[in-house]
Amino acid sequence: MTVVAGGASAARPQLIRAINGKVLLDHLRRSGPLSRTELARLSGLSKPTVSAALGTIERAGLVHATGQRTGVPGPAAILYGVRPEAGFILGLDVGREFLRGAVADLAGTVRSRMSVRAKAVDAMARIQELAGLATKLLGDAGIGASQLTQTVIGSPGVYDPKLDTLTLTGRLSGWDSPAVLPALRDAFGPALMIENDVDAAALAERVHGHGRDVDSFAFVSVGTGIGMGLVLDGKLRHGSHGVAGEISYLPFAEGTGSDARDARKRGSFDASASAAAVVRAARRAGVRGASSAEKVFAAAARGNAVAAGIVAEEALLVAKAVCTVITVVDPDLIVLGGGIGQAPGFLEAVVDQLRLLAPVLPEVKVSVLAADTVVAGCIAAGLDRAWQHVAARIGNSAS
């Protein structure tokens, strides 16, 4: 018993040093660079304790002196900040038409970014293309694969931990094969995290977009596919089975023929309101040149009454889905994203319908983030995970 008590007593100062180091690192991550005096004020720790904790995280290679604060009374104060090279994150977006990616350092600064058109016709070839893109990104960033702290892939679908596979992968052919995840782990190593692509876009919105200062919001993406990312109490919510936000399965009218087949495979709302559904509706109605949803919207903007009717029906369908979200979750904000969600004038059409349908009308905004939104969300998710690894390094350094 004496040995156990002694061990616990010896471990206590180490634990306290590690906790203090994490507190300072969190302040430096959010507000740095900072001086020792500023860190003491923000943390409530004494200056000697701050000095000791700074030594701990500096030995761990996580912070460094970045300069001096001048222009204020008294001697110049040394400023400390996170050492960006202490970790790197690779974020990849696997889409049907494009593969996008970026490498960022631990401070969140993007070191390289790239987008390539997808050429693969099957899942294994798509993984090879992703690996090739990753190699180019690492080369442009000037780092090796061994320096990566975390890799995050934004992908259509839901991860099923029981089967260790991806399900509900939509239009990404073969991506739900049981062989996909093992092949991805072989290509990218154990520090691999899979995030639903729309959930990743919601994370990007939380960090860089309209969701920055909002406690709860829904990011609704309408385009080639349909999905939603739900942030409640500042946290992304996946649900018990990972399907929170899979609004493509809302039970809207399925129609017949290809519409019904789409509904069974990808969900009724997807079959009714995705870009492909808009094109089908326009072609059935005789809209000339309706080769894409974008062209249907353009025809409506030019005054084509038939195309305008299809756009109005699309706005009604999206408003019904958003109304469902409002009545179940009651978020502070709805953000529309995707090719259709961000189309000019579409926001106003959806809001007009919501005024008639919804019991309350939260703020509804169009995302201002660009095509690399999913990559930005993957980087954000990777940074959160990387800082968990950093916390472990602080504990090891304090011991």
**Sheet with strand 226-232: strands edge to edge:** 235-237, 226-232, 217-222, 333-337, 363-366
> Could you say which DSSP state residue 91 is in?
E
Contact 154, 166 (CB under 8 A): no
d(C-alpha 181, C-alpha 399), whole Å: 36
CA 115: distance to chain centroid? 17
382 token code pair:
């990777």
Per-residue pLDDT of the chain (399 residues; tens, 9 = 90+): 333 334 444 456 677 777 888 888 888 888 878 888 888 998 888 888 888 888 888 888 888 888 887 666 667 788 988 888 988 999 999 988 899 999 999 988 999 999 999 999 899 999 999 999 999 999 999 999 999 999 999 999 988 777 788 998 888 889 999 999 999 999 999 889 999 999 999 999 999 999 998 999 999 999 988 999 999 999 999 988 889 999 999 987 655 445 566 666 778 899 899 999 999 999 999 999 999 999 999 999 999 999 999 999 999 999 999 999 999 999 999 999 999 999 999 999 999 999 999 999 999 999 999 888 999 999 999 998 887 777 676 766 555
Among candidate residues 204, 250, 251, 249, the one with its CA nearest the CA of residue 231: 204
Length of the chain: 399
Contact 65, 78 (CB under 8 A): yes
The dihedral over CA atoms of 139, 141, 143, 148, expressed in degrees to the nearest 10, equals -110
Helix (H) or strand (E) holding 159: strand 158-160
Contact 143, 123 (CB under 8 A): no
Strands (E), 288-393: 333-337, 363-366
94-105 as b/e: b if 16+ CB within 10 A:
bbeeebbbbbbb
Contact 200, 361 (CB under 8 A): no
Domains located in the chain, CATH noted: 2-82 (1.10.10.10), 86-201+374-390 (3.30.420.40), 210-368 (3.30.420.40)
The torsion region of residue 252 among left (phi > 0), alpha (psi -120 to 50) and beta comes to: beta
